[in-house]
A and B are shown apart, each in its own frame.
Chain A
Amino acid sequence: MRTAIGHGAVALTLVVGAAAVVWAGPQGSPQGTSALAEGAQALLARRCVSCHGPDSVARRAGLRLDRRDLAISRLPSGRTAIQPGKPAESELLKRVSLKATGVMPPHGAGKPLDPNEQRLLRNWISAGAPYQPHWSLRPLSRPVLPRVRAGGWSRTPEDRFVLARLEQEKLSPSPPADRATLIRRVTLDLTGLPPTPAEVKDFASDVSSDAYERLVDRLLASPRFGERMAVDWLDAARYADTNGFQVDRDREMWPWRDWVIRSFNSNLPFDEFTVQQLAGDLLPSPTLDQRIATGFLRNHMLNEEGGIIPEEFLVEYVADRVETLGTIWLGMTVGCARCHDHKYDPLTQKEYYRLFAYFNSANEKGIGNYGAPPKLSAPPLLQLPTDEQRARFERLKLKVASAEKSAAMAAAAQKAEVDKRLADALKELSNYELTIPTIMVMEELPAPRPTHILTRGQYDRPGEAVTPGTPECLPMGPPAVTQNRLALARWLTDRRNPLPARVAVNRFWQMLFGEGLVRTPDDFGIQGERPTHPELLEHLAWSFSAPKGEGGVGLGWDVKALLKRLVLSATYRQSSAYRPELQDRDPENRLLARMSRVRLPAEMIRDNALAVAGLLKDQIGGPSVKPYHPPGLYEQVAATNTTYTQGGAEELYRRSMYTYWRRSVPHPAMLAFDAGFREKCSVRRSRTSTPLQALNLMNDPTYVDAAKALARRVREEGGPTDAERITFAFRLVLAREPSAAEAAVLLRRLRTAPRPGPEGSAAAWERLAATLLNLDETIHRE
C-alpha cells in the first residue's frame, strides 16, 4: 500500500515541474506498474469513462473501462477493448489511433489522444493492464517517515515528508520567517486577529527555546480561536440568518453558530463534533447542546413560497444534506449520482438514495409556514430560553391557566371581562414566546418515511424503494441496531473509513497553508486533483483518526493538537518570500519550498482593521448584528417593505462573523472579498483582486471609522515625533517597524496636510492611517 501511494507521487512529479524528476519512492522503488496504472486510469477517467463507465444509462457499446474485470471481457460486438499484455489485439488502442471513422473519443467529444497518451495506454496494456483502487478509497495506512539528508531542518514528522520531496527535486526549503512575520502569521491563522504590539515585542525578545510553542498554546487557548475556526465551518455548513428563497425571511440559527464556537474552544474531538451535528438528537439522553448541534442539518435553504409543492422541496432539503455530507466528510461529489449513476466515481444512483434515506425521516414539511412568525415557520424546533426567560414564561403560562379557570367559572355578567383577560394573557404569552431564541433542529418521525430512487432525481418520479445504507466502495461501518443518522455518523468516524480523516486534515491544512494538499478539497474522486504530498496526507489522516498516542503520533481526532503540530512545523515557519528560481518550476508552490502568502478572508480583513484601530468589540456570540450597510440596497432588490435597520453603536464593530447574513443580499463587503452566498456547502473560497475591493477599503464607513480611530490612537499613544508615531502605526497595523524608505514616503506626505490648521493635521494622520489600512501587506498574511 505504501509503495502504491509513493507511486501516486510520480504522476504528480510529472505534472509539477518542467524539469520533472521521476521520484523513486522513499524505499527506492522505481517507476513501476502502479504508476502506470495510476496514469492510465486517470487518462481513461478523463477521456473515456463518461460513456464507458459506471453510468449504466450513458454507457455505450456495453463497455466499462473503470473496472478491470469488465474492461477485459468480450463485448456484445465480439470485440475486446483490452487484452492484457497484448496491445496489438486490444480494440481500445486501435480505436484511439484511428484517424477517421470509428475514432475514440468520437468527434465532438474532445481532441484525439496525443501520441504520449497513446504510448501510455500501450505500455500499460503491455504490462498487463493493472488496475488499482482510486487513491482516496484505499484503506488508511501509516506511511514510514521518509529518510532525508538535511535531517536537522525538520521539527515535526510532517516536515520529513515535505523535505524528502524537496530533496527529490533538488530544492532546499526557505529560511524561517522572522519573528514578527511569524507571530502575525500564526495569530491571524489561529485567531483571525492580529497580534498586539506588546505581544509582538514579548515574542521577539523571548529567547527561550519554547517561546514559539508557548505562543501557539496561548493562541489555541484563546476564546478567539473558536471564532476563527467557526468561520470556515459556517461556510461548509451553509449557515445564514435567512431562509434564502423568495421573500427570504429570517431564521434564528445563531445558537447553533455559538455551539460551533464553543465546540472549537472546548476542543470537542472531531469525531464527536461530527456525531453531534449529524445525530446529536439520537444519542442516548441527548443534552441540550447535542440537540442544538443538529441544527447543522437544518441550515439548508427553506422555501416558504405559497405556490410550491412541499414534496418537491422536501426532496431538495434532503438532497442538500446528502451533498453537504458528501463534500464535508467524503470529499465526494455525491450529488452527481442523484439523477444517474456517478459518471466517474464508484457511486450508483441507488447508493445515493440509500444515503438520502438516512436524512429522509425528519419530522418536517417541505414548505415553511409563511403565516407563522418567521422563527416558528419550520418545525422541528428547539426553544432555548435563558433561566430568566424560562421563569417568566412559566409565570405567564400560569397566568393563562388562571385566566382560563376564571373564564370557565365566570358568571354571564362578567363573561366579557374575563374573556378579555384570557385573550390578553394568551397574547402576552405568545408575544413573550417570540422573544425566546428558537432554532430548527432534527427530530425523527416515529416511523421512517419511505425512500425511493427518484427517476432523474425528480421528486414526482419515485422508483424502486431503498433502505438506508452506505456506499459499497467504502468499508462497512460498525454494526448498528438501526440504520439511522447515528449509524451513519458512527460509520463516518470509524477509523476504517478512510475518507473523513483525509478530507478533514486536508481542510485544516488548507486553512493554514492557503491551499490543501489536495487542491480540490471538495473532490477527492477520480476527477479531483491528486495530493501534492500523498504520504504526508496519509500520515496526517492516519494520525488524526488514530487513538491518542498510538504509534507515537495518534491524535484521537484532537483538532487543537493537529493544528499545533502543523503550525510548529518547519514547513509552516518558512518565509513566504517568493523565490525567483521557483517561479517557473513551481509557480503554485505545490512543493512547499516556501510558505504561502495569502490574502486574508473577507472577515479577517475587516476584523483586522477594527482590531488595530482599537474599535473591535470582544463579545462572543449572541444574535447576529447589523453594522453599517449601504442605504437603499434592500429596497431595490428585496421583497416589498424589506429594509435594513442598522443596529446601535454596540453592533457596529463586532467581529464580521456576527454580521447578519441575508442570503438574498449578503453584506456587499463580504461578497466583494469572495465570500459566497451561503446557499450551499462550500469548502473553498476564491481569492480575487478587484476594484470593488479597493473601493470598499477606501470608502466603506467601517474603514473610515477605523482610519479615524487608528489616527487618533497613533497621535495619542505613538510618541511626540512624527517618526515615532509612524513606527507605532506600523507596529499596530503590520506588526513590524517601517523601513527607512517607507517612513520617508509617509513623512513627506505628512508635511502636505490636506487642510490648513490643527484640523489639517488630524486629516493628514487619517489619510496616513487609511493608507496603512489599504496596504497590500495589511490584507495579506505573509
Chain B
Amino acid sequence: MNRILWRASLRHLLTHPWQTGLAVLGIALGVAVVVSINLAEVSAKRAFALSIETVIGKATHQIIGGPSGLDEAIYVQLRVEEGWKSAAPVVEGYVYVPGDPGRTLKLLGVDPFEESPFRTYWQHFGRDSAIDMATLVTEPNTALLSAITAKQLGLKRGDTLKLRVDGEPYAVRIVGLSPSGNSKGKFSLDDVLLTDISTAQTLLGMLGRLSRVDLILPTGQQGSAQLERLRALLPPAPEVIPTGVHTETIQQMTRAFHTNLTALSLLALLVGMFLIYNTMTFLVVQRRELIGNLRALGVTRRQIFKTILVEALSIGLVGTLCGLLFGMLLGEGLLGLVTQTINDLYFAVTVRQLAVPPLALALAVLLGLGVTALAAFVPANEAAIVPPRVAMSRSLFETKAHHWVRRSALSGVLVIAFATATLLLPSNSLGLGLIGLFALVLGATLITPAATVALVRLCQPAVSRVFGLIGRLAARSVLASLSRTTVAVAALMVAVSAVLSIGIMIGSFRLSVAEWLDSVVRADLYVSLPHPVASPPEGTLAPALVERIGAAPGVVDWSTVRRTRIDSERGITEIVAYKLSPHSHSGFRFKEGDPSAIWPAFEDQEAVLISEPYAYRHGLGVNALVRLRTDHGERDFRVAGVYYDYGSDQGVIAMSRRTYERNWTDRGVSGIGIYLDPDTAPKEIEEVLHRIAGPHQEVQIVSNRAIREASLEVFDRTFAITEVLRLLAAVVAFIGVFSALTALELERAREFGMLRAIGLTPRQLWGLIMSQTGLMGVAAGLLALPVGVALAVTLIYVINQRSFGWTMDAYISSGSLAQAMLLAVTAAVLAGIYPAFKMTRARPADMLREE
C-alpha cells in the first residue's frame, strides 16, 4: 500500500515540474541566504579567533599599560628582582605594506627566548631557518612571515619588504617563513609580521616601551595568590587582566552586527517558507479527488498525512541540499562584504577561506526541513481530513477558505497587538526587538487575506468600469480562489515590505550620518596618516609636523585629535582627545547637557563628553561618572554632555587635549583639522602643507568635502552587505510570487479553456490573466506600504537603537514608497507573463481535456 502511495505522490510531483521546481528553488534560495550569511560570519569570527589565539597563545593574563604602552623596566624588575617566571614581553602595532591594494600587517615583536611557554608557532619555522633565528635577534629590521602571506606579497626568504609605519618608510628583510597553520589548523600567522622585540620597538617608535607583558598564572587559589602578589608589585597604572577579556570584548562588538545579519537572512527563509506552503497547498488541492478515493480504499488519515508531509520534506530536502551548495558559493561572495564591514567598523581581520563547519550545515538542514515541515503541516492536515469517496469540492474548499480568512485576520490583529506591546516594552533587549519585528511580519501576513479581500472588493467597481467584463472577471477570480491568491499576495507583501523597510532604514541612517558629517567636519583641510587601521590607536603624526603645520601661512586656526583605546578589565574604551579650535565647538550636537556649561567644563574641569552609543550602552547621562584607567591609576571623570556621533557603534569618550595630557603620558596626534584664511585657496595651502610634511612621513591632506565623501563611502561600504540581503530577499520574493501565480493560473487551465470555448479571445484571456496578477500586485503593494513603514520604524527606533545605540530620524521619501509599489506590481505582472503566454497559445480543447 505504502509503495503505491509513494509512487502516486512521486508521479504527481513529476507531472508538475514547474510547481515542484519552483518550490525547490524557493527553499534553496532561502536556505542559501541563511547558510551563506552564517558561513561568512563564522569564517570571519574563526579567522579572528585563530589570529587572536595564535598571538595570545597560552597566556592567561596580561599586564597592560595605557595608550603609550608599558615601561619595559617593569618587565625587567619582574624578571630579575622578583624572579617572575612565565612572562613574555610583547610589542605590537600595525604596519602598512604599500601596493595595489595596500595591506595592513600586524607587527608582533617578541623575545624569542621567552616565547616557548606561550606561543607554539616557533616550532613551525622549519629546521633550515636556524641561522635566521639568530639573525632575527641580532640584526636590525629582520622579520618572519607566514608562507602564505609571503606568497601573497610576492616575497621569498631573504627578500626585502617595504613598509610604512605611521607614514614613514622602512624596509625589513624576511629571514624565515612559517607554514600557514599546521595540520590541525591551530594557529594562523597570516598577516602577522613577526620580529624580535628590538626591531618592533624601533619600527613602531616604542623605545623603552612594551605593548604588554603576557603571563601564565596557575588556576585556582595559587593563581589568585600570584595575581595578588603581582598587583602589589606593580605601580598603579599598569593593570593585570585575564586574556579572555580582550577577545571577548572584541567579539562582543560584532554581536549586534551578526544578529542583524542573521535576522535579515531569516527573513529570506521566511519568504521561502511561504513558497513551500503555497506549493503544498496546491499539490493537495489538486489531488483531493485522488485522496478521497485512496481514503475509500482504506488508506488511513495518518497515512495520507504522512505521505503529504514526506512529499513536502522531500521537496524541502532537495531544496535544502541545493541551498547548501548554493549557500557555500554565495558565502564566498558575501565573505568579502562581511569582512569589509567588520574591518571598517570593528577590527582588522583577513579571512583566507570560507570555513564550513559541519554543525552550521547541519543546522541549515534542520532549519530548511523544519521550515518545510511547518509550512506543510496545514496542507497535510487539510489532505488528511478529506472524507473518503466524497471528493471535496473546490467550492467547499474555498468557502472554508473564506472562514479561514476571518479567523486569520483576527489572529493577525492579536499578533500585531502582541508585537506592538513587545516593541513598546521599555527594554534594551535586541532579542525582544527581533521577536517584535517578526511578530509584526507574521501579524501582517495573517491579516493579508482579509485585507486582500477588502481591497479587491474596493477596487472591483473601478476595475470593472475600466476593464469591463474582463476586469470584473479578474477581480472575482482573485476572490474565488482565496486559498492560493492570498498566499501569493502575502508572500509578495512580506518581501516588498522588507525591501521597503530596509531601504527606508538605510536611507534614514545615511541622511543622519550625512547631516552629522556636515556639522562635525568644519575645518577646511584635514591632515592625517593614510591607510588608517580600523582599530585605534591610530597612527601618530610626527610631533614636529604638528607644530610646523600650525605655523604655516594661511592657517588661522587648527585643532588636533587623538584617537586611542584604553584596555582594562572592564573591556576596551575608545578615547578621543580634542584640542579644539573655538570654530569646532559648534560642530558638536548634544543630545543631553547644556552647551553653554559643557565647554567650560570640558576645557577646564576635566569633564568628558560621551557619545550617544556610549551613553546608551552604559546607561549613562550628564553628571554620571566614568571610570578610566589613566597612566596614574584609576580615575573617575564627570560626564558633561552626551553628543551625537556616528563614528563608532561602541561609543567613545571625548575629552580635551589638556585633560588627556594631564592623565596620560601619550603625546601623539592622530589628525589635524586646519582652518584657513578665507582669502587663501585651499589647493595652494594643501601644496604648502605637503611640502612642510616633507618626504619623510607620508601624510594625507584632504578637504572637508573629500572627507565627507570618503566617510559616506565607508558608510555605503558597511551597508553593502545589507543591500545585498535586501536584494536577495527581493529575488526570493519574486520567485515566490512567480511560482504561486504560475501555479495558480496553470491550475485554472480548465476554467480558461471554458472561457476560450465560450468566445474569449486570446487577447482577452491575456488581459484577464494580466489584470488578475496585476490586481494581486497592487493589493500586495498597497499592503506593503504601511507594513514596510511600520517595519522601518521598528528597525530604526528599536532594532538599530538596541543594536548600535544610534538614534536617527526616520526619513520616508515618496520615491521609496512609489518604488515599493512599482516593485510589487512589476513582480506580479512579470509572474503573469508565462502562464498568460502558455494559456493563450494552447488550444481550448486541450485545456478542457486536461485531467
- Do A and B assemble together? no
